[in-house]
Structure 1
Amino acid sequence: MRQEHFIQRHQQEWADFAQWLDARAAKPRRARADPRWRGLPDENMPAAYRRVCQHLGLARRRGYSPQLVTRLQVLMQRGHNALYRPPLPRWQRAVEFLLADFPCLVRAERGVMLASLLLFVLPLLLSFIAVQLKPELIHTLLSPQQVADFDAMYAKSAGKLGRDSGSDLAMFGYYIFNNISIGLRTYASGLLAGVGPVLAIVFNGLMMGAVAGHLQDVGLGDPFWRFVVGHAAFELTAIVIAGGAGLRLGLALLAPGRRRRVDALVEDGQRGAKLCLGIFAMLLLAAFIEAFWSSMGWMPAAVKYTVAAVLWSVVGLWLWRGGRDRDAC
């Protein structure tokens, strides 16, 4: 076969493979997001690489021009580096996931995340306002003993804000178990036809708004806000994300679209599992802040609010911009 015919026959294959390599180099593991990508799925790349190697061997045996041989040699070497490079260390993959992949997943599910946010914020605001207008409403959600316990946790005589006993380390363990269990249950309840996440998010919003409204009404608003503003950036955001992931799981069950219901559950369940990894990390950090920072009653309010503003800004910027340089989500 003449060189011109050889090039004409395989030119498109080489171009597609080169474009896939370019997209992969610019956006690791996200070649599909690149507008230059022509539709070659990742699973076809090993076969495309082997064909390039065969074409290189043919070009050498047939004595084609050095320019063509060099072109195929470069293409073969790039393909080898892309397909057979050693995997990243586990710690580096974990950091990459938290900094880039997780916020991309959250943004990709912006619809259910917004629904979860509204389901949380609206009941919170309504219950806060309602308890301010009619303080006795707090007893429809909490028993007298629970109300008294909250009053004691934020009284001026309390040694630590937000609790009446326990060391920082012991409370750190308690917060880990309590917060993470709430987040995971909220997500898993999506299997209850999507009703579970709705109830969980609304209930959490009602309870938090009612407690905040009561403490504000009885003059304990200052210690309460100084306690919650720090860790709330990670904790409340994680709960909302867990609710959104649960809603997505419920939609896969109720409205799978053109997918089989079982395929939709598996696919969306895998995405939800990845979201749960990020939720776990956020709640772990929230528990640390809550145990060792938020409980400091002697810390001036100005310092607490300044740190809280920084933490909220970090969370917002992370979820908004994280991974945008590597994908199109």
Structure 2
Amino acid sequence: MSGVDLDAYVAEHDAEWRRLEQLSRGRRLTAAEVDELVALYQRAATHLSVVRSRSPDPALVARLSRLVLAARSTLTGGSRLSWREVGRFFTEGFPLAVYRAGAWWSGVAVAFTLLTGFLMWWVAGHPESAAAFIGEDAAEELVASEFAGYYTEFLPSSFAFHLWTHNAWLAAQCLASGVLIVPVLWLLWNNALNIGVVGGVMFAYGRGDLFFSLITPHGLLELTGIYVAAGAGLRIGWSWIAPARTAPEAARSSRPPATACWWPWGWSGCSRCRP
């Protein structure tokens, strides 16, 4: 395509391109205008392909590329961050995700609590085990000053920021590593072991009241976040191992046979089993 042919090509289609630019400005379109926008978008994409292959004029290619991208954005309704979407995430999206993963993170919470409680009971009842875990001198120092000093070493605002970032990072690790199953179990075990041993040592030395008075105010919220993150991660990981069945398959497998129905008037009268 020569320079003269290119000018003629631009003159021939310039009105279409201007109209496409006008329709792509983001205003509300009528049904007829949407149809026109689709047709002009397809033609402009063809024009861009022709210009690129025959006469790759940089200015014209850039103009047509912008037109095609703007028209595509108008047609597909590109996502834009809005405060409404942020609010919907906290009021609808996140609670729904937590609810759907409830069985997973509830199981994590129960298992973690039982394991931690067992470790506390064992270490408290067998003081020599504390020496095996952290050493006798370290255990005495932990009870005397180190445990309480952890909460007074920094200013309250700095301590709160430190706890928040640490537990946010731990929750992110639990969520991400849950895809591989084993790493999140290792993280949970390490944290249960740490809490269990520290709590058991404090109880062994008669300072269980100090342990719970300091760890409970922030521990309940932090552990809940870790439970939810780990449960959601495990749910994602398990979905790779056992993908969800399709709706028709689930419906067929969940429908009990007539002979097994508990409804006293027979299968045909059971609202749960009726097809």
Q: Which amino acid aligns with 1:224?
A: F
Tell me if 1:120 matches 2:112.
yes
Question: Helix, strand or coil for the counterpart of 1:163?
Answer: helix
Q: C-alpha distance in 2, partners of 1:196/1:117? A: 17
Give the structure 1 partner of residue 166 of structure 2: 178
| C-alpha displacement of 1:168 | 2.1
**Residue identity in the other structure for 1:209:** G
Following TM superposition, by how much is the alpha carbon of 1:175 offset from its aligned partner in structure 2, in angstroms?
1.5
For 1:97, which of 86, 89, 96 is the aligned residue? 89
Could you tell me which of 150, 155, 160 is aligned with 1:167?
Answer: 155
Tell me the residue number matched to 1:278. none
Cα drift, residue 126 of structure 1: 0.8
TM-score (norm 2): 0.53
1:200 pairs with 2:192:
no
Cα RMSD after superposing both structures: 3.2
Whichever of the two has the greater Rg, that structure is 2
Q: For 1:141, what is the secondary structure of its paired residue? A: helix
Q: Which amino acid aligns with 2:190?
A: F
Taking the aligned partners of 1:232 and 1:188, their CA distance within structure 2 comes to 22
Aligned mates of 1:145, 1:170 — CA distance in 2: 29
Structure 2: distance between partners of 1:233 and 1:50: 55
Consecutive unaligned residues in structure 1, runs of 5 or more? 1-48, 52-83, 260-329
Q: Deviations over 1:137-170 (max 9, x none)?
A: 2234334565355321345xx5xxx435222233
Deviates more, 1:95-104 or 1:206-215: 95-104
Q: CA offsets, 1:269-288, max 9 Å, x none?
A: xxxxxxxxxxxxxxxxxxxx
Matches within 5 A, 1:1-329: 89-90=82-83, 92-144=84-136, 146-148=138-140, 150-151=142-143, 152-154=145-147, 162-163=150-151, 165-192=153-180, 194-257=181-244
Letter in 2 for 1:219: G
- Cα–Cα, structure 1 residues 258 and 232, in superposed 2: closer, same or farther, change >3 Å? same
Structure 1 distance, partners of 2:243, 2:204, is: 46
User: Using a 3 Å threshold, how does the CA distance of structure 1 residues 147 and 182 change in structure 2: closer, same or farther?
Assistant: farther
Aligned residues: 173
8 Å Cα contact 1:215/1:221 also seen in 2: yes
CA distance in 1, matches of 2:178, 2:124: 33
Q: Aligned partner of 1:213: which letter?
A: G
Does the 8 Å CA contact 1:201/1:240 hold for their aligned counterparts? no
- Conserved? CA contact 1:131–1:213, under 8 Å: yes
Normalising to structure 1: TM-score of the pair?
0.45
The answer to whether the 8 A contact 1:127-1:210 is kept is yes
Q: Which amino acid aligns with 1:169?
A: S
CA distance in 1, matches of 2:239, 2:166: 28
Q: Which has the higher contact order (CA 8 A, sep 6+)?
A: 1
What displacement does 1:204 show?
1.6
Deviation at 1:258, TM superposition (A): 5.3
- Per the alignment, in what secondary structure is the counterpart of residue 105 of structure 2? helix
Letter in 1 for 2:139: V
Relative to structure 1, the CA distance from residue 119 to residue 198 in structure 2 (aligned partners, 3 Å threshold; closer, same or farther) is: farther
Query: Is the 8 Å Cα contact of residues 125 and 204 (structure 2) preserved in structure 1?
Result: no
Mapped to 2, the partners of 1:252 and 1:146 lie a distance apart of: 43
Aligned amino acid, residue 218 of structure 1 = Y
CA drift of 1:239 comes to 0.8
